[in-house]
Amino acid sequence: MVRSLSVRGSVFTAWLLAASAALAHHSAAMFDTSREIIVEGVVTEYSWKNPHSYMTVRTSGGPLVLELGPPSTLGPLGLTRDAIRVGDNVRIRAHPPRRGTMAMGRELLRPDGSTLPLMINAGTKRPLQRQATSIAGTWVPEGFFGFLRSRSGWSLTERGRAALQAAGGATSTQDECVPVGAPMLMHYPTANRIEIGRDVVRIHVDWMDAERVVYLDGRKPPAQAKPTLHGFSTGHWDGDTLVVETTHFAEHREGLALGVPSGPRKHLIERFSLTPDRKQLRYEFELEDPDFLAAPVRQSLLWDYQPDLQPSGVKCDIQSASRHLKQE
């Protein structure tokens, strides 16, 4: 059975739900986020994949496909692969399709009254219970929605404004399993693991197999170094704070943020430090790109220390990444 719930929410709520879909790298325009429905039926198909999971439910009105969040962002919220199985009877809160035949799953409603998240939202996070001894370990950023909101306040060049305006109907590089670059990459609420060595720091981001390497030995980029998605990063310690400078970025049509490209002059400075209670990491950045930014962007956010959390281990699946295109 599929039935509509009352329309609820405000302009902010509609934006928030659209932003949730942006975590899955594409616009929520194909869903009617001003309305909710309850989907009841039997799960006939279920795929636990990055950057989208999908489920087909056999309802009294016929089969309905639902797009869900990816393991990388739902894992930190407590959803596991085995929480849903083919053959399960389910009740799901969802947003109906505005066009196409696919709905957006929001929450799994369990018989005991509890819920399981099927899409990331701004109000869900795991409790903080442990203290870190350094910035090494596993962390989950909590500022993705704030980063998305901040784009409206950036001072863009004419090229930057034109690109952002034109981005609404454009496909994403993430449709091809190519992630965005830092600093946006550092805002995804996934399990990020920092490993500290004597001469190098490695930052593993559980989003499309992204890994950043920061050299601490003072080396310079090779004379013929080819620009890359994540650039060339060097770092040093300022007390217990890691300071990272990155240049040699390859041009990318979402190199600064969704909808905002980056050019060859992109320059990024980041600082990683523990908060006084040692339960969070403060991530700060200063971003410059004269081709698309008329003024530098300076921001900060917190990462939550989650030492027992494991990355999803699920690689980006190209069919899952581009499946939404068939519905638009």
For the chain, 328 residues long, give each residue's pLDDT as a single digit of tens. Answer: 444 333 333 333 333 444 444 455 555 678 998 999 999 999 999 999 999 999 999 999 999 999 999 999 999 998 899 999 999 999 999 999 987 789 999 999 998 988 999 998 755 677 898 999 999 999 999 988 899 899 989 999 999 999 988 886 567 888 899 999 999 999 999 999 999 999 999 999 999 999 999 999 999 888 888 999 999 999 999 999 999 999 999 999 999 998 899 999 999 999 999 999 999 999 999 999 999 999 999 999 999 999 999 999 999 999 988 876 665 5
Question: What's the distance, CA 112 to chain centroid?
Answer: 30
Task: Give the Cα separation of 13 and 36 in Å (integer).
Answer: 12
What CATH class is the domain 2-124?
Answer: mainly beta
pLDDT at 28: 66
Q: What is the pLDDT of residue 101?
A: 81
pLDDT of residue 327: 56
Size of the chain, expressed as the number of residues it contains: 328
- The answer to whether the 2-124 and 137-305 domains have the same CATH topology is no
* CATH superfamily assigned to domain 137-305: Calycin beta-barrel core domain (2.40.128.20)
Ordered by start, the domain boundaries in the chain are 2-124, 137-305
Taking only Cα atoms into account, the Rg of the chain, rounded to an integer number of angstroms, comes to: 20
Query: For residue 7, what pLDDT is reported?
Result: 32
What pLDDT does residue 74 have?
A: 93
| Tokens encoding 104 | 């957006």
Contacts by 235-238, CB closer than 8 A, 24 or more apart: 235/201, 238/271
CA dist., res. 256 & res. 181, Å (int)? 7
Would you call the peptide bond into 296 cis, given omega within 30 degrees of 0 as the criterion? no
d(CA 31, CA 54): 15
Q: Phi-psi category of 78—alpha, beta or left, where left has phi over 0 and alpha has psi -120 to 50?
A: left
- Whether residue 102 contacts residue 94, with contact meaning beta carbons closer than 8 Å, is answered with no
